[in-house]
Amino acid sequence: MPVMMRPQLQLSDAQRRVVQHLRIHGPTARVHLAQTLDINAATLTRLTQQLSALGLVEETPASPVTVRGRPTVPVSIAGHGGWSVGATVHPGWLELAVIDFRGQVLFEDSRPFAQGDPKVFARTLDERLRALAAERGFMRGRFLGLGVAVAGYAIGGDRNRRSVVDWIAPWDDIPLQQVLESVLDMPVWIENDAAAAALAEYYRPEIMSRHRSILVFFLGHGVGGGLIAERDLFVGEFHNAGEVGRLFPGDQPRPSGIDLLQTLRHAGAEASSLADLEGLMDSHRAVFDAWIERASAQLATAVHSGVAWLDPGAVVISGALPRAVLAALAEQVEAHCGRLFAGYRAPTPRIYASSLASKAVVLGAALTPLHDVLGARG
């Protein structure tokens, strides 16, 4: 078996703690970092100097407000010390995103891709990345790796072997990491698409700064989910945590994007893909409203169960649906859960609508190598 490749960037536990604190809490003065992390000032200074030399942290301009004595200069996450790529395949097209170490998007791209062979996918991606490196100088940064989000669950407890959807049938039950790395000659991580979306939702600053654990429902061609538990992606013993689609049999109405698409077609709408949903919202408002009412009740039952078992700080309704639909679903799920949680005196999770929508999958794929570098993933 080929040796698992790893990014060139390797951080010590102490360095990871500093980076994680800055990522969660934002720019922080060294004196406060030392106090919060229980590290003496000299050690903290040395750590930030090391991280600065790697291009991972930088000093933030001091506040114009002056105080007695030497002003403190906060340090923050820098972007130029590393970059990573995320990619995924949709029916008929390929999507990729390049992010820097801050998690900010440097480049997004999509192109037609009808070939299901994973080696062709890898060669297509390799050609595009080489062109990007020449055009934008990405190779001057520190490359962390490539995350690939796959629509399919793990087989035999191996996250690199997947039972996949029909449009990528050649990806089924093969060692995907080894196959892709043999073509790309770079570190590759394979992740379920909904789990990748959960990672992207968690890395949103307004989520990460407030919560340690979140439950994410991703609605697209199917119904998927992901759980961030204590700031890590929880995968389960067989790497299939979040396979919530099993709660909604495909031969019955379910809260998925494809189900909404079929509902609209039955109502006479001309729609060939999820991309057409946005343009139908005005002309078929009643159909959307009825579907949202039904789907939100289904999701609320799953949310109620998930909250009882997992006690997350937040629930995020995400997916490849128009943002207005996600917002309406979140609002109605929250109303349903308000009734389900009635009389329960402990804190209950806040329910968010995703602001990332379909982009969550490819962004989460790109975040996977970065998440691994920070030591948060086993």
Phi-psi region of 69 (alpha: psi -120 to 50; beta: other; left: phi over 0): left
- What is the count of structural domains for the chain? 3
369, 235: one domain: no
Same domain, 177 and 277: no
In this structure, the answer to whether residues 131 and 231 fall within a common structural domain is no
Comparing 68 with 300, which gets the higher pLDDT? 300
Tell me the average pLDDT of the chain.
91
pLDDT value of residue 114 = 84
The answer as to whether 161 is a domain residue is: yes
Cβ-defined contacts of 259-267 (< 8 Å, 24+): 259/291, 259/295, 260/288, 260/291, 260/295, 260/321, 260/325, 263/287, 263/291
Same domain, 331 and 251: yes
Evaluate whether residue 350 is within a structural domain: yes
> Domain containing 312 — which CATH number?
3.30.420.40
Domain that holds residue 348: 208-355
Please say which residue of 61, 77, 93 terminates a domain: 77
Tell me, yes or no, whether 8 lies in a domain. no
Q: Exposed, middle or buried by CB within 10 Å (0-12, 13-18, 19+), for 329?
A: buried
What does the pLDDT look like over 8-27, one tens digit per residue? 678 899 999 999 999 999 99
Question: Does residue 3 have a pLDDT over 50?
Answer: no
pLDDT band at 250 (very low <50, low <70, confident <90, very high): confident
Half-sphere exposure of 305 (CA within 13 A, CB side): 9
Residue 89 domain-assigned?
Answer: yes
pLDDT at 254 exceeding the cut of 90: yes
- For residue 120, what are its two tokens? 């062709």
321, part of any domain:
yes
Provide the pLDDT for residue 70: 56
Mean pLDDT check: name the lowest of 66-70, 120-124, 182-186, 318-322: 66-70
Same domain, 93 and 182: yes
CATH of the domain at 57: 1.10.10.10
Is residue 73 domain-shared with residue 88, that is, in the same domain? no
Instruction: Assess whether 306 and 242 both reside in one domain.
Output: yes
One domain for residues 49 and 173: no
Structure tokens at 228: 């961030």
